[in-house]
Structure 1
Amino acid sequence: MANTTISEHSVAGQLSRPASLALVLPLVLLLGLAFLLPVANLLMGSIFTPAPTAEHYLRIAQEPIFLRILLRTVQTATIVTLLAFLLGYPLALVMSRLSGRAAMLVAACVLIPLWTSVLVRSYAWIVLLQRTGIVNNTLLNWGLISQPLKLIYTEGAVIVAMTHVLMPYMILPIFSSLRSIAPELDRAARNLGAGHWTSFLAVTLPLSLPGVYAGAIMVFILSLGFYVTPALVGGPQNLTIATLIGQQTTDLLNWPFAGALAGVLLLVTLGLVGVFRRFLRFGKGA
């Protein structure tokens, strides 16, 4: 009788297929109207203007400046992802081993930037790095430099600012993976004679790789399409593909060519994500 009751409750708790589709439908409609439809309209405009043409895509392939900007964008995204991993993994490891108020304090330091506008954080970096900013004034007062350094509107400034903005997206997935690792595994490795580094390399790091993969792919994809920070901190000398698309739409009003740039960026992003997924499967197999 008890088994029958449990079975009835489990069946009653499951939603039927029409009910599940009804729950998902509003989200699908919102995604279609707010994202898929505008993207499709932009891509169609790059091909039909008004007659079918490949002119805009040929322009991207024929003019080296656009390919250089695309390569610079991929290079910047790669560097930002590596820096976010190198800086974020130790912090995620510390977070996973803390408890009480110390854990809450470190978590607040990671989460509070996510609650702050990207625009505000980008302007904060301008205040820090400009010629009369805090960094240059400090170095001048200490006598380390004789004249202000050019820190703003450089590729280095873009990388540093983007790493700061996107680092929480690397830390949180790694932290989640590290918290799911049983502490007994590390203690067992220690009991078998492994040192701190050996235990970390043989146990902790391999088991945390799913979080590393998730964080890396999020940071990399967000870096490819990042607009606000490169536009404010990098200036016109350090264009990325996203700032170039914004320039074509807002300044030059060349929507068909902007659609072609967006299409190329979308193809590159999907291709790199596909490669990353294959690497992920390889990593799991290894």
Structure 2
Amino acid sequence: MHDTQLEVQTLHKVPSANALVKIPGLKWMLLIIPLLYVTFLLYLSLLSLLKLSVFDQSGFTWGYMERIFTGTLYLKVLWTTVKTAFLVTVFTLVFGYPVAYLLVFLESPRWKQTVMSTVMITLWISLLVRTFTWTIILQDQGIINSLLMNMGIIEQPVKLLYNTTGVVIGMTHILLPYMILSLYSVMEGIDKRLIQAAQGMGAKPAKAFCQVFLPLSLPGVISGSLIVFVMGLGYYITPALLGGQSNMMIAKLIQENIEVTLNWNLAAALALVLLVTTLVILAIAYWVSRLSPMLKEGV
């Protein structure tokens, strides 16, 4: 009994979390330490790299930026990057929306857990393993071409590797879980009684979906599309292995300028173009979301 009283008295003497935060200067210390850590490791190093895009041994110059926007190769790579990221976003949305919808309306907890585990396993498997798997599947003697030729659908192997098709297939498979999880997080919060009410008032299931459920799920569509598109813009490993030199994306071009040609200034200029492109797209998405109150939660 005496020991119990001592423990209670000791617990009362230990300051709570709220009491610690009220100590003058402590909350600022808790904020400043991680802020300095992130600033030193991320922002200072990023600014040091981007500085090379407009400064070289001779001083300030726009030569590297002019070289990017006047060179056919760089404009082609930039267009390929944006096009590929857009296609991947569209396909992940087309394939991910039904999966997220199924997860929301599955009544069996066992089946729901099975589908969710299947989605999560894709994230747990190594990126290199998934990419090399698609290299085996998409090659001329791979499973897809062999199956189509054995069925008599094609006579010659279809070129699925080292082009835009292979990159889109591989990136869609890798980024699909991000779209599904973004959609599911929004769909799960939609009141299903709204759909039942719409159907009770005479609306057919398709009309109730288009006029009730789909508009309410748009924040998930916007957030998932932004995540996939932005990640797709800077993707490196999958396009490098499945696209080859003929379908180069900007991340691969930056890597070659750093490690092969040792042109750090041009690599920094390319990185700056990629950063500005991403920020402009995010700004446009944010501006569009402000026009519709329903989309404000998505961005």
Q: Could you state the TM-score of these two structures normalised by the residue count of structure 1?
A: 0.90
- Structure 1 segment 1-286 matched on structure 2, within 5 A: 18-50=25-57, 51-98=59-106, 99-284=108-293
Between Structure 1 and Structure 2, the one with more helix by share is 1
How far has the Cα of 1:218 moved from its partner? 0.4
User: Residues 130, 33 of structure 1: CA spacing in aligned structure 2 closer, same or farther, 3 A cutoff?
Assistant: farther
User: Residues 18, 118 of structure 1: CA spacing in aligned structure 2 closer, same or farther, 3 A cutoff?
Assistant: farther
How far has the Cα of 1:159 moved from its partner? 1.0
Give unmatched runs, 5+ long, in structure 1. Answer: 1-8
- What is the aligned partner in structure 2 of residue 4 from structure 1? none
* Paired residue secondary structure (1:73): helix
Asked if the contact 2:194–2:212 (Cα under 8 Å) also holds between the matched residues in 1, the reply is: yes
- Kindly provide the CA deviation profile for residues 186-234 of structure 1, in whole angstroms up to 9, marking residues without a partner as x: 1111111111111111111111111111111100100110111100000
Pair member with larger Rg: 2
Give unmatched runs, 5+ long, in structure 2. Answer: 1-15
> d(CA) in 2 for partners of 1:281 and 1:17?
39
- Kindly provide the CA deviation profile for residues 51-74 of structure 1, in whole angstroms up to 9, marking residues without a partner as x: 111111111122122112112211
> d(CA) in 2 for partners of 1:92 and 1:17?
47
How far has the Cα of 1:41 moved from its partner? 1.3
* Paired residue secondary structure (1:174): helix
User: Residues 27, 218 of structure 1: CA spacing in aligned structure 2 closer, same or farther, 3 A cutoff?
Assistant: farther
Q: Which amino acid aligns with 1:49?
A: D
> d(CA) in 2 for partners of 1:126 and 1:175?
30
When structure 1 is superposed on structure 2, of 18-27 and 207-216 the one drifting more is 18-27
Tell me how many residue pairs correspond in the alignment: 278
> d(CA) in 2 for partners of 1:179 and 1:285?
16
* Paired residue secondary structure (1:144): coil
Q: Which amino acid aligns with 2:113?
A: M
User: Residues 10, 48 of structure 1: CA spacing in aligned structure 2 closer, same or farther, 3 A cutoff?
Assistant: closer
User: Residues 150, 264 of structure 1: CA spacing in aligned structure 2 closer, same or farther, 3 A cutoff?
Assistant: same
Q: Which amino acid aligns with 1:114?
A: L
User: Residues 104, 30 of structure 1: CA spacing in aligned structure 2 closer, same or farther, 3 A cutoff?
Assistant: farther
- Kindly provide the CA deviation profile for residues 151-200 of structure 1, in whole angstroms up to 9, marking residues without a partner as x: 10011111111111111111111101111011211111111111111111
